[in-house]
Amino acid sequence: MKRKKIIQISKILLDIIFLIPIILISIISRVSRKNFDIGLGPEPLINNIYHKKALELYGYKVETFVNSVYYITDQFDIRSDKFLKGPLKIFRSYYLFLFSIFRYKCLYFYFTGGALGFNPILWIIEPFLYRIASVKTVLMPYGGDVQVMSRSPNLLFKDTLSKDYPIHKFRRESIEKKIDLWTKYADHIISGCEWVDYMYHWNTLMLGHFSIDTEKWKSASSNKSNTIKILHAPNHRNIKGTEFFIKAVEELKSENYPVELILLEKVSNDKIKEVMETVDIVADQLIIGWYAMFALEAMSMEKPVLGYIRKDLESLYICSGLIEPEELPLIKCSPLTIKEDIKAVISNRDNIYKIGKISREFVIKHHSIEYVGKVFDSINKSIGILPKNNFN
């Protein structure tokens, strides 16, 4: 505890020391020649790797940059953790900020903020520093960066989040302040998923900004055994409804249904793909009410996905013209119906293959790098960012 306090005090002192130099350097960077159109970071999210591909399809010169990496993937272009290690890691945010304002014309990042997002003082003026540096900002949520639970209508989600992340309550005020800050001062804001619950403004509404390489995530084989295999890979068990999946499958097995649940936790994205290749169905989540990357990876591989879809969210996206009625291919279920929903789908193996085919078509239409790249291209042009190499 004492060490954490010392680190926090050190960060405050560094922010004060660097305040004037950073403002002056931002002014200088305004007239610098920026060699890249787009920078994606600093959160080490796999979305950014696909977003880079999506933007490159439309001729943009793009890089990903991060402070550090998670276990999911480490395939980012710029990693400050490779050379700013040990005591020097306290300087990573300053380095990445200065690096980014001289290198990129536009930054795509999340509501945690840019490179200075976790600095105790400088996060407050970060939007203005980017404006001084003549760097455009496109903001998009990913989940925990906007989840102000006092704004959520989903009581079960509140309950499960409290169980998986009891310290999330201490972040509420900080999250609200960052939503307000970037909503006011970002050049463009994207929303989608259930993120719309917590946000009060957006410029572009999507089903979710998630993009995926549908050629990489393409099934080459299928399960040949008589047992129906269901894959579930939770990063937080309560929020994903893991125990409901486990209970349903155990009860079906006790009733002699040929079904098996494969549980994967804290494994790499490559391992997920390897196992997903061998299963029949993927169990996504039963709480949040929408889908994200794991479901898209499954659908792209022609695997039917079990998941809870909130009717009000589906209605929003239908009314906004993003999808047609009954277009969502997910097998809609809930904690109260999951056993019967699994029983229904495993009773007809041919239907599993049919749903899988429709699921892949849905992903290609709404989440391929080609589609998301087109949306991003439109956003960039609306804020004055044109690609260096327009191949279209």
Q: DSSP letters of 222-266? A: ---SSSEEEEE--SSHHHHTHHHHHHHHHHHHHTT--EEEEE--S
pLDDT at residue 51 in the model: 97
Q: What are phi and psi of 97, to 5 degrees?
A: -65, -50
* Whether 286 contacts 358, CB under 8 Å: no
Percentage of residues of the chain with pLDDT beyond 70: 97
Q: Check residue 247 and give its pLDDT.
A: 98
DSSP codes, 136-175: EEEE---STTT--GGG---HHHHHHHHHH-GGGGGGHHHH
pTM over the 0.85 mark: yes
pLDDT band at 265 (very low <50, low <70, confident <90, very high): very high
Return left, alpha or beta for 384; rule: phi > 0 is left, psi -120 to 50 is alpha, else beta: left
Query: CB of 373 within 8 A of CB of 108?
Result: no
Q: How much is the average pLDDT of 121-147?
A: 98
According to the model, what pLDDT value does residue 392 have?
46
pLDDT of residue 373: 98
User: Taking 90 as the threshold, does the pLDDT of residue 4 lie above it?
Assistant: no
Contact 161, 147 (CB under 8 A): yes
pLDDT at 73: 74
Please report the pLDDT score of residue 288 as a whole number.
97
User: Does pLDDT of 1 surpass 70?
Assistant: no
Residue entry with tokens 């996206």? 317
pLDDT tens-digit profile of 342-353? Answer: 999 998 888 999
**Beta-carbon-side half-sphere exposure of residue 189 (alpha carbons within 13 Å):** 21
Whether 32 has a pLDDT exceeding 80, the answer reads: yes
Confidence of residue 261 (pLDDT cuts 50, 70, 90): very high
Tens of pLDDT, residues 316-328:
999 999 999 999 9
Q: Say what the pLDDT of residue 374 is.
A: 98
What pLDDT is recorded for position 96? 96
Specify whether the CB–CB gap between 260 and 249 falls below 8 A. Answer: yes
Give me the pLDDT at residue 389, please: 66
**Phi/psi at 78 (nearest 5 deg)?**
-115, 120
Residue by residue, DSSP assigns 303-338 as --EEE---HHHHHHHHHTTSS-TT---SEE--TTTH
pLDDT in tens, 92-109: 999 999 999 999 999 999
The mean of the pLDDT values for the chain is: 94
Average of per-residue pLDDT across 27-33: 95
Whether 250 shows a pLDDT value over 50: the answer reads yes
Q: Which pLDDT does position 390 carry in this prediction?
A: 57
> Rg for the chain (alpha carbons), in Å?
22
* Residues 201-219 pLDDT 10s: 999 999 999 999 999 999 8
